[in-house]
């Protein structure tokens, strides 16, 4: 897959905006909403998937309603930045289903993890038994989310 950013025309953007709102729309209905034919829309969707613009189609779940009411942001500092330590850390956290996002950062912290848990006790166990045992982890500081005021999955698109 190319690292180039694909150019999106106005039709691509209209299709993507509709899919970001409701990905379950049948192609015929989507075509009607964006003012194009079923065949053109279907081909555009296939192209956008092939280009990696559409990475997948999923149901968005409410973490609280599935028994994971605690959201934590863990700030990770590594002991060293060897060529193999950072990829091994990423591989280790990718294997932990409680980690729903992992970001490599510049600055005082090396990684930011977004984690969901059923309780603070479970998080404490997770820190001591999982995170702190990953090779190269020097320091973990955590911020607990009190409330989630904005939670978007919809990207602000424009033709390019």
Q: Could you report the per-residue pLDDT of 17-59, keeping only the tens digit for each?
A: 999 999 999 999 999 999 999 999 999 999 999 999 999 998 9
**Does residue 65 lie within any of the structural domains?**
no
Task: At 91, list the tokens.
Answer: 């591989």
CA distance 140 to 132: 8
Q: How confident is the model at residue 1 (pLDDT cuts 50, 70, 90)?
A: very low
Q: Look at residue 6 in the predicted model and tell me its pLDDT.
A: 87
**Does residue 140 lie within any of the structural domains?**
yes
Same domain for 80 and 136, yes or no, is yes
Cα separation values, 77 from 18, 34, 135, Å: 40, 47, 12
CATH number at residue 124: 3.30.70.920
Range of the domain at 34: 1-60
**Does residue 157 lie within any of the structural domains?**
no
pLDDT in tens, 58-115: 899 999 999 999 999 999 999 988 888 999 999 999 999 999 999 999 999 999 999 9
Same domain for 74 and 140, yes or no, is yes
| Cβ atoms of residues 38 and 27 within 8 Å | yes
**Does residue 149 lie within any of the structural domains?**
no
Same domain for 41 and 80, yes or no, is no
Same domain for 79 and 98, yes or no, is yes
SS3 51: coil
**Does residue 158 lie within any of the structural domains?**
no
Same domain for 50 and 82, yes or no, is no
**Distance from chain centroid for Cα 53:** 14
CA distance 83 to 103: 17
When divided into structural domains, the chain yields a total of: 2
**Does residue 160 lie within any of the structural domains?**
no
**Does residue 159 lie within any of the structural domains?**
no
Q: Please give the backbone phi and psi of residue 56, each rounded to the nearest 5 degrees, phi first.
A: 175, 175
**Does residue 130 lie within any of the structural domains?**
yes
CA distance 63 to 69: 6
Same domain for 21 and 55, yes or no, is yes
**Treating both helix axes as pointing N-terminal to C-terminal, what angle do 10-21 and 27-34 enclose, rounded to 10 degrees?**
130
Same domain for 118 and 136, yes or no, is yes
Q: Which of 40, 60, 80 is the last residue of a domain?
A: 60
Same domain for 49 and 80, yes or no, is no
Same domain for 20 and 78, yes or no, is no
Task: At 83, list the tokens.
Answer: 């060529």
């Amino acid at each position: 897959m190319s690292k180039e950013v694909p150019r999106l025309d106005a039709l691509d953007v209209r299709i993507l905006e509709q899919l970001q709102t409701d990905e379950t729309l049948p192609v015929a209905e989507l075509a009607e909403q964006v003012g194009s034919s079923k065949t053109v829309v279907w081909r555009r969707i296939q192209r956008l998937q092939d280009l990696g613009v559409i990475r997948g189609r999923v149901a968005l779940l409410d973490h609280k309603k599935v028994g994971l009411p605690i959201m934590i942001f863990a700030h990770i500092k590594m002991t060293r930045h060897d060529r193999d330590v950072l990829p091994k850390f990423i591989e280790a956290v990718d294997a932990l289903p409680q980690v729903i996002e992992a970001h490599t950062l510049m600055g005082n912290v090396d990684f930011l993890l977004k984690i969901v848990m059923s309780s603070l006790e479970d998080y404490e166990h997770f820190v001591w038994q999982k995170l702190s045992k990953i090779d190269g982890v020097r320091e973990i500081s955590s911020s607990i989310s009190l409330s989630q005021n904005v939670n978007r999955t919809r990207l602000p698109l424009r033709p390019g």
